[in-house]
């Protein structure tokens, strides 16, 4: 391509590979047979394929990525989960490919009829019916059981079905958008009458998954806290300023498994340093560290509700 500008991939210098062939995500998709949306989801969720970021912001991929992605696709075709294959080392991936497990798409196991009906609405892209059922389950179960028995299992089932090839990424996106709308709708009445302490809710840069944060915000509002919902990928300095401006008593961040990294730990430490001494920093999700000074890890939404209810 003739461009000798030093390129960066997650902070590592690839200037020495300037002569190597590089592909756009569309070309990578055509070379591997893996849809572009799937590649983007794997990159976000598992950190692979790893892009080369040009100064313009465009992403390119090393041609060597093609072979590994084809091996990942072959392992998935043999019945292994995408989460296992994409994150596997070369040796682990080789072992998966050598396994004789045939490609069998197991039927989705649904624990009860209520959850089965929700999954069926997702499969059919029936937004109205899905919303009505979710609101009905909210009224029947109450906030915490609604999240524990319906929202979280529904997300898990759809995610697992996508990984196994039974559903498409478009089903997962549809569910995420609809759940986000429902959770915001449910929170609004509580926000209107909240008079408790202020809580800032956000994710850190690099964390694009926002549903866990939406659920945490709903739990906080139910507990009577005034929620300032900043959304995803908020810069650390802006998060500190928001907490100071609103006089927040606590800041809550949500971290998915893919962001359980040293970089995330460093950002959390920076957030802690940006907050006043009396402000709590709460971290939840599969990527939340349990041993970082000044950061309180919250195991689940029931624990979050109890801590906030106690003030």
> Do 136 and 34 sit in the same domain of this protein?
no
Q: What is the CATH number of the domain that holds 134?
A: 1.10.1240.10
- Which of 26, 78, 44 is CA-nearest to residue 258? 44
pLDDT of the residue at 99: 67
> Do 201 and 305 sit in the same domain of this protein?
yes
| DSSP-assigned beta bridge partners for residue 254 | 284
Last residue of one domain, picked from the residues 98, 128, 152 = 98
The structure tokens listed for 285 are 């999700």
> Do 67 and 112 sit in the same domain of this protein?
no
Residue 20: DSSP 8-state: S
> Do 39 and 149 sit in the same domain of this protein?
no
Residue 173 has pLDDT above 60, yes or no: yes
Q: What is the CATH number of the domain that holds 17?
A: 1.10.1660.10
Full-model pTM? 0.69
Please count the structural domains in the chain: 3
The chain-wide mean pLDDT, for the chain, equals 84
Asked if residue 3 is part of any domain, the answer here is: no
Q: Which domain holds residue 21?
A: 8-98
Asked if residue 1 is part of any domain, the answer here is: no
User: pLDDT of 86-125, one tens digit each?
Assistant: 888 888 888 877 764 444 444 445 557 788 899 999 999 9
Length of the chain: 311
pLDDT of the residue at 109: 52
pLDDT tier at 244 (50, 70, 90 boundaries)? very high
Q: What is the CATH number of the domain that holds 247?
A: 3.40.50.280
> Do 237 and 249 sit in the same domain of this protein?
yes
Asked if residue 150 is part of any domain, the answer here is: yes
> Do 251 and 262 sit in the same domain of this protein?
yes
Helices 127-141 & 113-123 angle (0-180, nearest 10): 160
> Do 89 and 115 sit in the same domain of this protein?
no
Last residue of one domain, picked from the residues 191, 208, 230 = 191
> Do 127 and 182 sit in the same domain of this protein?
yes
> Do 147 and 94 sit in the same domain of this protein?
no
> Do 184 and 205 sit in the same domain of this protein?
no
Q: Which residues contact 6 (CB under 8 A, 6 or more apart)?
A: 13, 14, 15, 18
Last residue of one domain, picked from the residues 147, 175, 191 = 191
Residue 2 has pLDDT above 90, yes or no: no
């Amino acid at each position: 391509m003739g461009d000798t500008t030093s390129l960066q991939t997650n902070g590592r210098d690839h200037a020495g590979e300037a002569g190597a062939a590089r592909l756009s995500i569309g070309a990578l998709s055509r070379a591997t047979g893996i849809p572009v949306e799937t590649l983007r989801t794997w990159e976000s969720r598992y950190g692979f394929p790893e892009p080369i970021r040009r100064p313009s912001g465009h992403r390119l991929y090393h041609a060597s990525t093609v072979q590994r992605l084809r091996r990942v696709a072959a392992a998935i075709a043999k019945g292994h989960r995408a989460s296992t294959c994409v994150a596997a080392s070369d040796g682990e991936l080789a072992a998966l490919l050598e396994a004789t497990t045939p490609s069998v798409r197991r039927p989705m196991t649904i624990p009860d009829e209520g959850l089965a009906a929700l999954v069926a609405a997702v499969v059919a892209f029936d937004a109205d019916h899905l919303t009505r059922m979710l609101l009905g389950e909210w009224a029947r179960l109450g906030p915490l059981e609604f999240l524990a028995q319906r929202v979280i299992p529904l997300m898990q089932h759809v995610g697992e079905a996508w990984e196994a090839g039974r559903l498409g990424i478009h089903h997962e996106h549809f569910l995420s958008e609809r759940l986000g709308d429902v959770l915001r709708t449910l929170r609004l009445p509580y926000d209107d009458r909240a008079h408790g302490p202020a809580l800032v809710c956000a994710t850190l840069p690099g964390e694009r998954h926002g549903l866990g944060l939406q659920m945490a915000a709903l739990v906080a509002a139910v507990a009577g806290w005034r929620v300032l919902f900043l959304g995803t990928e908020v810069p650390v300095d802006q998060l500190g300023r928001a907490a100071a401006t609103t006089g927040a008593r606590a800041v809550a961040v949500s971290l998915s498994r893919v962001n359980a990294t040293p970089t995330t730990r460093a950002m959390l430490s920076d957030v802690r340093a940006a907050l006043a001494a009396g402000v709590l920093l709460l971290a939840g999700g599969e990527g939340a560290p349990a041993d970082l000074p000044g950061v309180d890890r919250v195991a689940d939404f029931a624990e979050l509700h109890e801590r906030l209810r106690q003030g």
